[in-house]
Amino acid sequence: MARTEIKENIYWVGAVDWDIRDFHGYSTYKGTTYNAYLCMDEKITLFDTVKGDCYDELLYHISELTDPTKIDYIVVNHVEMDHSGCLPKIIELCKPEKVFCSPMGQKALMDHFHREDWPIHVVKSGDSISLGKKTVTFLETKMLHWPDSMFSYIKEDKLLISSDAFGQHLASTERYVDEIAIGEIMTHAAKYYANILHLFAPNIQKLLAQVTELGWEIDMIAPDHGLIWRGNPEVILSAYDRWSKRETSLKALVIYDSMWHSTAKMAKAIGGAISREGVQVKMLNLAVNHRSDIMTEVLDCRALVFGSPTLNNGILPRMGDFLTYLKGLRPKGKVGAAFGSFGWSGEAVKILNEAMEVMEITVLDPGLKVKNVPVDVDFAKCKELGVKIAAAVKEMG
Ligand code: FEO
């Protein structure tokens, strides 16, 4: 079996993007892949395409297997541009008999490409098409993570082509999860889930139940990013179950930025006190931690403690950036507190408290403000705040 033949007569034909470092705010410091799959059945079928500027790589991989003009069907599991960017060129070249997509996919294709002449065939959950020896059954997965998203399941191969779900942003020459250390894969999978899918946790719970109800036998999950889960997809299915149940651990995050070290000193005093109470603490200085890495830590934490000095009657810009990002990803079921130093006006703590209220984070304390530089009496208050936070975290267990 060729390295890219993931199942008999089904091949990975995607593209590896080694250089991408930012995915609209998500730090892809290990790059990513855009996975597409070609099924060489009686109807030659391409599942998804790749980002527009990766067209040549897609075409190269397809051409190793067949003349691209022989492609009969294209399945569009998801219209976001990293998977559909080169669709116009591929359709122009292949002139496929049919392009399959979900009902919302049809709308999204029209909104993106404005082409009424494409041979679109809408498929709904439960619809199946025959490719010859293989059968594809579709499942709409609305808001995982776009309205148009869907899965394609090939029962003869027990293969689930899962679009964005179960992916990782990781560029590699390897194609399978079992070729890489599992710890590294799960770190990338958790980051991907936390930054892209956790927002839709209730939908994921419903989807996992739906897949169980359908009785689909799955021994391989082929996502549209990163490596393929073969042999034991239970590893990622159970992780998604755990994450989407919003399971947490005895853990608090101290997320802060500082101007002249006063707020940093408070952060260390608060974090130290939480830790001494037996609660795990992650100290996350926004000057050196990327927002999307912090989101991975948010996934299973119970407390979010924010620190910013006051700057121009507001908070520091990196804290503003992080709160905007966090708000969009809607953290649920957390407690929180705020702290920060100030010179003369001191609005930062109030602003942080208001931000937490908007996010429905339970604010445990009015917050701690220190004028200019903290001294012993201030550190004692930091310790008290840390003890209070730790107690709340333990109660949440
Ligand atoms: Fe990988 Fe939602 O696109």
8 Å CB contact between 161 and 100: no
Residues 52-74 pLDDT 10s: 999 999 999 999 999 999 999 99
Q: Coil, strand, or helix at residue 135?
A: strand
Distance CA 178, CA 167 (A): 14
- 20 CA to middle of ligand 1, Å? 14
Task: Find, among 322, 301, 312, the residue nearest to 256 by Cα.
Answer: 322
- 238 CA to middle of ligand 1, Å? 22
User: How confident is the model at residue 2, as a pLDDT?
Assistant: 57
Catalytic residue among 82, 148, 224, 297: 82
- Is the CB of 257 inside a 6 Å radius of any atom of ligand 1? no
Query: Average pLDDT in the 32-58 region?
Result: 98
Classify residue 73 by burial, with Cβ atoms within 10 Å: 0-12, 13-18, 19+: buried
Q: What order of strands is seen across the sheet that includes strand 220-222?
A: 128-130, 135-140, 150-154, 159-161, 220-222, 229-230
Catalytic residue among 5, 80, 293, 384: 80
Could you tell me if 166 and 258 lie in one domain? Answer: no
pLDDT band at 232 (very low <50, low <70, confident <90, very high): confident
Active-site residue, 192 included: yes
Active-site residue, 164 included: yes
CATH number for the domain spanning 206: value is: 3.60.15.10
Could you tell me if 258 and 240 lie in one domain? Answer: no
Domain total in the chain: 2
Active-site residue, 188 included: no
Residues 69-120 pLDDT 10s: 999 999 999 999 999 999 999 999 999 999 999 999 999 999 999 999 999 9
Active-site residue, 357 included: no
* pLDDT cut 70: percent of the chain above it: 99
Could you tell me if 56 and 197 lie in one domain? Answer: yes
CATH number for the domain spanning 294: value is: 3.40.50.360
Atom from ligand 1 closest to the CA of residue 146: 2
8 Å CB contact between 193 and 243: yes
Active-site residue, 117 included: no
Could you tell me if 199 and 123 lie in one domain? Answer: yes
pLDDT at residue 176 is higher than 50: yes
Could you tell me if 204 and 257 lie in one domain? Answer: no
Active-site residue, 127 included: no
Q: Coil, strand, or helix at residue 167?
A: coil
Could you tell me if 96 and 142 lie in one domain? Answer: yes
Neighbours of 375 (CB within 10 A): 10
- Is the CB of 80 inside a 6 Å radius of any atom of ligand 1? yes
Query: Which residues share a beta bridge with 122?
Result: 101
Task: Find, among 52, 87, 56, the residue nearest to 71 by Cα.
Answer: 87
- Examine the fold and report which residue of 210, 244, 278 is the final residue of a domain before the chain moves on: 244
- Examine the fold and report which residue of 226, 244, 262 is the final residue of a domain before the chain moves on: 244
- Is the CB of 224 inside a 6 Å radius of any atom of ligand 1? yes
- Examine the fold and report which residue of 214, 244, 274 is the final residue of a domain before the chain moves on: 244
Atom from ligand 1 closest to the CA of residue 196: 2
8 Å CB contact between 374 and 341: yes
Residues 338-376 pLDDT 10s: 999 999 999 999 999 999 999 999 999 999 999 999 999
pLDDT band at 397 (very low <50, low <70, confident <90, very high): confident
User: How confident is the model at residue 1, as a pLDDT?
Assistant: 46
Token representation of residue 22: 């930012």
Could you tell me if 113 and 15 lie in one domain? Answer: yes
Could you tell me if 227 and 259 lie in one domain? Answer: no
Atom from ligand 1 closest to the CA of residue 163: 1
Could you tell me if 139 and 43 lie in one domain? Answer: yes
Q: Give the mean pLDDT of the chain.
A: 97
- 60 CA to middle of ligand 1, Å? 22
Catalytic residue among 61, 83, 145, 169: 145
8 Å CB contact between 302 and 335: yes
Atom from ligand 1 closest to the CA of residue 34: 1
Could you tell me if 84 and 201 lie in one domain? Answer: yes
Q: 359: number of CA atoms within 13 Å, CB side?
A: 27
Q: Closest residue (by CA) to atom 3 of ligand 1?
A: 80
Within 87-200, residue ranges assigned H as helices are 87-94, 103-113, 182-192
Active-site residue, 24 included: yes
Could you tell me if 224 and 285 lie in one domain? Answer: no
Range(s) of the domain holding residue 356: 252-395
Query: Which residues share a beta bridge with 11?
Result: 5, 38
Residues 138-168 pLDDT 10s: 999 999 999 999 999 999 999 999 999 999 9
Could you tell me if 11 and 133 lie in one domain? Answer: yes
Active-site residue, 82 included: yes
Atom from ligand 1 closest to the CA of residue 224: 1
Distance CA 255, CA 264 (A): 10
